[in-house]
Amino acid sequence: MNKALRPAVIAGNWKMNKTPSEAKKLVEELVPLVKDAGCTVVICPPFVDLSVALEATKGTNIKVGAQNCHYEKSGAFTGEVSASMLKEMGVEYVIIGHSERRTYFGETDVTVNKRTKAALAEGLKVILCVGETLEQREQGITAELVAMQTIIALNGVSAEEMKNVIIAYEPVWAIGSGKTATSAQANEVNAVIRATLAKLYGEAVADATTIQYGGSMNAANAAELLSQPDVDGGLIGGASLKPADFAAIVAAAK
């Protein structure tokens, strides 16, 4: 399948930024800037901002996602939020397995898999993050590592459920560092992920799956990254907090 037939998705991961009142202001500024987007636009604010974001995006083309969800429906999991809670609010997307979750909060490939399955079972769309550290890249194991992360995260996920999965390749060394992967590096690993999906689910599913790049993507480098045949969108951190910059990346995804 031609890249043009895959949905391009630009998603903003706000990370731990913006209070509810700040979130409302940011969304209100963003709405007019992306109203003619030629791609799917998603914002992923912190949990406490989701209500405000859902309200402020009502009737617009902006979709709302969370940054994580737990794998159990309810129970004694202090500080966690379940997929059914997000679903009932009207949240459509959820980021799973971000490298900051893996690095700082003990997330493993196995818990990423459990969270992915729970989110999909609830009907949420998952933005599943994979990516290597600098040490792993220098060791020459990027392809093997990212393929393995993908395989474990998708264990037990059906071909049908893959319609609701977006994969985000985020090299850890490029996140928040200002060191963007070159477009060739991004495309190479995205192609590895697509080949892995082909082995797991066949060519048709692999060709239909949106694979994003994330890591210091900004208004200046987005067009070049997004022009690559296997880069179908972006997961944006820092630049998603600036409406004009995020809108410029959205415009580059046309």
Q: Tell how strand 9-13 and strand 233-236 pair up.
A: parallel
Q: Which of 122, 138, 170, 224 is catalytic?
A: 170
Minimum CB distance to ligand 13P, residue 34 (Å): 17
First to last CA, the chain: 18
Minimum CB distance to ligand 13P, residue 153 (Å): 16
* Contacts to ligand 13P by CB under 6 A: 13, 98, 170, 175-176, 214-217, 235-239
Q: Indicate the residue among 42 and 81 with the shorter CB distance to ligand 13P.
A: 42
How far is 253 from 151, CA to CA, in rounded Å?
A: 28
98 is catalytic: yes
Q: Indicate the residue among 46 and 238 with the shorter CB distance to ligand 13P.
A: 238
Minimum CB distance to ligand 13P, residue 15 (Å): 7
80 is catalytic: no
How far is 132 from 146, CA to CA, in rounded Å?
A: 7
CA-based Rg of the chain, rounded to a whole angstrom?
A: 17
Please write down the HEC assignment for all residues of 43-95.
EECCHHHHHHHHHHHCCCCEEEEECCCECCCCCCCCCCCEHHHHHHHCCCEEE
Q: Indicate the residue among 100 and 230 with the shorter CB distance to ligand 13P.
A: 100
210 close to 9: Cβ distance less than 8 angstroms: yes
Minimum CB distance to ligand 13P, residue 87 (Å): 22
253 close to 30: Cβ distance less than 8 angstroms: no
> How far, CA to CA in Å, does 34 sit from each of 3, 198, 214?
22, 33, 19
Q: Which of 98, 100, 107, 132 is catalytic?
A: 98
Tokens of 129: 């993050």
Q: Indicate the residue among 207 and 224 with the shorter CB distance to ligand 13P.
A: 224
How far is 61 from 103, CA to CA, in rounded Å?
A: 33
Q: Indicate the residue among 46 and 214 with the shorter CB distance to ligand 13P.
A: 214
How far is 221 from 213, CA to CA, in rounded Å?
A: 12
The one-letter amino acid at 211: I
Minimum CB distance to ligand 13P, residue 76 (Å): 29
Minimum CB distance to ligand 13P, residue 176 (Å): 4
Q: Indicate the residue among 103 and 158 with the shorter CB distance to ligand 13P.
A: 103
Closest among 17, 133, 116 to 71, alpha carbons compared: 116
Q: Give the nearest residue (CB) to ligand 13P.
A: 237
Active site residues per annotation: 98, 170
